[in-house]
Amino acid sequence: MIDPDRRRLGLQGLYVLTDARLGHGAVLLEAVAAAIAGGARLVQYRDKSDDPGRRRKEAGDLADLCRSQGVTFLINDDLALVEYSGADGVHLGRDDLPVAEARARLGPRAVIGASCYGDLALAREACGAGADYVAFGAFHPSAVKPDAGRADPRLLSRARAEIPHPIAAIGGITPENGAALIEAGADMLAVITGVFGAADPRAAASRYARLFNEGSREG
């Protein structure tokens, strides 16, 4: 299990996930740069398409961008792409490589996240296997995954009480409903369309980032 002292790792704030339908190449890079300028603190490259050359190029460019801005950069599912691009780590879903195997391959410094849906037991298992953070959702209807199972926001409070790791919330999160999830226990709000589907990704990211600033002032 990873040392609990690593639990912060900068894993807090707006967490943006890319989506292949929202643009490629320079369009993608420009959108991610705008999101970072607006306050995104983590970026996940999520592209399930069968175009390895383009995926390597995009991942490498995004890794360079995130590194230059001090932003954590993760790859969805693909350990080989993590190694190729120099990304900070990987995010794994239920049907991906087990967390323990990813940890063994990527080493102790890699950041590893795990999707746990609405299952607290799955989160405990992931943390025990070496995950640095866990993600729960979907908390609201999702345009990207309309058939995703729904999670109850009360799960975040239970997870906060039981799991000494950062927690991400995902699924249909907007600036209007995100504050309640942070209050319930989410360290990160994971967003795709709410930022990259907006006409101005920087302004959209800023609206989410402001939720964390407001929470800090209230605390």
Catalytic residues: 46, 115, 145
Tokens linked to 202: 């920087």
Give Dmax (Cα) for the chain: 47
Tokens linked to 175: 């600036």
- How far apart, in whole angstroms, are the C-alpha atoms of residue 100 and residue 17? 23
Report which of 50, 40, 49 is spatially closest to residue 17, judged by C-alpha positions. 40
- How far apart, in whole angstroms, are the C-alpha atoms of residue 165 and residue 101? 19
- How far apart, in whole angstroms, are the C-alpha atoms of residue 46 and residue 156? 24
Tokens linked to 19: 């989506």
